[in-house]
Amino acid sequence: MARKSKPIFYITTPIYYVNDVPHIGHAYTTIIADALARFKKLAGYDVFFLTGTDEHGQKVEKAAAEKGLKPLELADKVVVRFKDLWEALNISYDYFIRTTEPNHEKGVQTLFKKLADKGDIYKGTYKGWYCVSNEHFLADDVPLEKEGTKICPECNIQATIIEEATYFFRLSAYAQPLLDFYAKNPNFVRPPSRMNEVVSFVRSGLKDLSITRTTVKWGIPVPGDPVHTIYVWFDALHNYLTGIGYDRNMVRFKKYWPATLHLIGKDILRFHAIFWPAFLMAAGFPPPECVYGHGWWLKDNTKMSKSRGNVLDPYAIIKPFGQDPLRYFLLREIPIGHDGNFSHEGFLHRVNSDLANDLGNLVHRTLTMIRNYFQGKIGLRENETPEDEKIREDFAGLKARVFDLYNGYAVSRALEEIWVYIGAVNKYLAENAPWKLAKDAAKRARLARVLYQAAAAIRGVSFLVYPVMPASAQKIWNYLGERGALEKHSFAELDFNGLKPGQLMMEPTPLFPRVDLKEFLAEEAKPAAPLPTPAEPNKTEGIMDYISFDEFKKMDLRVAHILKAEKVEGTQKLLKLQIDIGTEQRQIVAGIAETYKPEDLVGKKLVVIVNLKPAVIRGVESQGMLLAAVINDKAIIPFFEGDVPVGAQVK
């Protein structure tokens, strides 16, 4: 019997300009997309998540010239900054597209030619006010200033007059088809207020759009007329097609197009809700299902943007707090369509109150009691009383509501609901006071029921917060003795009673560190690491390469206990070790077989880097690395003597 294919969810972020390094605004869009992609996977969808960088155009050309670099050299450097940030934020994209990729360039030329052959692209002359910062011509109704110039209303930068031979896209012909399309698809633009904005713009009339430049060298050449380069927005929008294989892997392209959701900031709504569906109609492809224009993060009540110089470096938060508090804050603080003002006090309040107090303490207290009173395993329990039943039944209601809210992209509301439930579980614990029950041997079965109920609720909560805080959710999942990746489970199978009785639970380490406001402000005051200036001499050549304390702090070194050791088949040097790192069991592969016999290693304690990216070594996955001295090509491991707790941090 043929397997039923999964429904498709194709989600995209804007592709970001490489004229400067990423900031909180870029992180915001990408984190929303990641949370939705992760949710849809749990909900059983076949997900494709695309992000990337927009590398052509005058803006990038200018920024590169100012830094003494070629545009592609600048792009190569900035792309690394984006990819590093996405890794630091646990972004699970499927493909990172760069518009300088030959596949993309070829795809755009094919589409340009297709539209030209059809007569939707024609040659003419254009004269108009152009904003280099935003890469667009100003609308006719932007007023002239006293000096006879025009200022871009979006970025407040002076525009320049451009007159040139150009190719036009016949946008005017698509005004009516667009209006018909909007009428048939009222959810095409979200939130609904933005749909009205788009419809009235189109109703006011559309002029043909200049889509090539002769003054910009850094762009994709027009096929057959290379003195013209293709306008950066025509180039960029088509990444949504080339990123899933248009003109290269048509099977994949047909599988995922049309996109389910283009997530963007409201600043680029017109490009996505007017030009883009018109280009697609001209090319004979269906428009995407939805364009969601989210609000802006402001600082001091103005939009954070590179041109205004008021951006916040995401690492100022990731370094002291880790990735999940930032993900949580950005998604919890404002509903996706609204603007939000970033304040340090607001951030700290959420982290200390929602994460450290409400969720962190609940997990810590419950698991510590289960370890202390039941050696980590809850066996026989008293039958449920009505209040126990309520905690279980409320979870079923919560699960259904959270599903609908995530599904409707109302992530902030989903988190709000989850936290109401966390509050109820905390109240249930306070009222049932397991620490008092523990003093009375006759109440052990009751104690077991109360702690089981709390642990089962925590398990459910960890699943529900997973899309927003994947790493913390997985940690909690493992503390509860669950094996394997949480993401392998599905929303449909999630059940309160899925927590197996008798499962061994772990000693938790604090999930969310508390950070002092002063310390936080000091970190934030440090400027973002700049891009290297050209031809900087290597000052440390011949001297030791130092790393900073911050770089050292990134390494998570732990005391691990070897549970099992065996040879990796077909190799001389490699051993495969199963180790306990306190919070979970891991497998690592190490080149130590010439110094150690597997049976001599079992029971030993050693130091392991646990946050090293997993690697596959000779076909075997290694989830970390042990520390050893290498003498004459042989590894000597420093083992711990005495009673060192497994999972203790090595600093």
Binding residues vs ligand ME8 (CB under 6 A): 14-17, 25-26, 28-29, 54, 236-237, 239, 264-265, 267-268, 296-297, 303-305
Nearer to ligand ME8, 268 or 473 (CB): 268
Nearer to ligand ME8, 17 or 479 (CB): 17
CA atoms within 13 A on the CB side of 353: 11
Q: Residue 367 is which amino acid?
A: L
* CB distance 458 to 363 below 8 Å: yes
Q: Least distance from C-beta 204 to ligand ME8, angstroms? A: 23
* CB distance 630 to 638 below 8 Å: no
Under DSSP, is residue 67 helix (H, G, I), strand (E, B) or coil?
coil
Who contacts 345 (Cβ-Cβ below 8 Å, separation ≥6)? 517
Who contacts 651 (Cβ-Cβ below 8 Å, separation ≥6)? 557
Nearer to ligand ME8, 78 or 351 (CB): 78
Q: Least distance from C-beta 243 to ligand ME8, angstroms? A: 10
Q: Least distance from C-beta 15 to ligand ME8, angstroms? A: 5
Q: Least distance from C-beta 24 to ligand ME8, angstroms? A: 7
Strand order in the sheet with 121-131: 136-137, 121-131, 160-169, 209-210
d(CA 498, CA 460): 9
Burial class (CB in 10 A: 0-12, 13-18, 19+), 144: exposed
Q: Residue 545 is which amino acid?
A: D
In this structure, the strands spanning 8-17 and 46-54 are parallel
User: Which bin fits 2, alpha (ψ -120 to 50), beta or left (φ > 0)?
Assistant: beta
Residue nearest to ligand ME8 (CB): 25
Who contacts 102 (Cβ-Cβ below 8 Å, separation ≥6)? none
Q: Least distance from C-beta 14 to ligand ME8, angstroms? A: 4
Nearer to ligand ME8, 305 or 623 (CB): 305
Q: Least distance from C-beta 272 to ligand ME8, angstroms? A: 7
Nearer to ligand ME8, 75 or 589 (CB): 75
Q: Least distance from C-beta 268 to ligand ME8, angstroms? A: 5
Q: Least distance from C-beta 88 to ligand ME8, angstroms? A: 17
Q: Least distance from C-beta 80 to ligand ME8, angstroms? A: 16
Q: Least distance from C-beta 479 to ligand ME8, angstroms? A: 34
Nearer to ligand ME8, 268 or 480 (CB): 268
| CA of residue 230 relative to chain centroid, distance | 30
Q: Which helix (H) or strand (E) holds 7?
A: none
Tokens 């772990």 correspond to 506
Burial class (CB in 10 A: 0-12, 13-18, 19+), 530: exposed
Strand order in the sheet with 221-222: 212-213, 225-230, 221-222
d(CA 619, CA 604): 25
Nearer to ligand ME8, 133 or 453 (CB): 133
Under DSSP, is residue 495 helix (H, G, I), strand (E, B) or coil?
coil
Nearest Cα neighbor of 124 from 166, 64, 157 is 166
* CB distance 121 to 115 below 8 Å: yes
* CB distance 110 to 247 below 8 Å: yes
Nearer to ligand ME8, 25 or 467 (CB): 25
Nearer to ligand ME8, 29 or 366 (CB): 29
Q: Least distance from C-beta 54 to ligand ME8, angstroms? A: 3
Nearer to ligand ME8, 311 or 362 (CB): 311
Q: Least distance from C-beta 53 to ligand ME8, angstroms? A: 8
The counts of H helices and E strands in the chain are 23, 25
Nearer to ligand ME8, 154 or 580 (CB): 154
Nearer to ligand ME8, 29 or 109 (CB): 29
Burial class (CB in 10 A: 0-12, 13-18, 19+), 51: buried
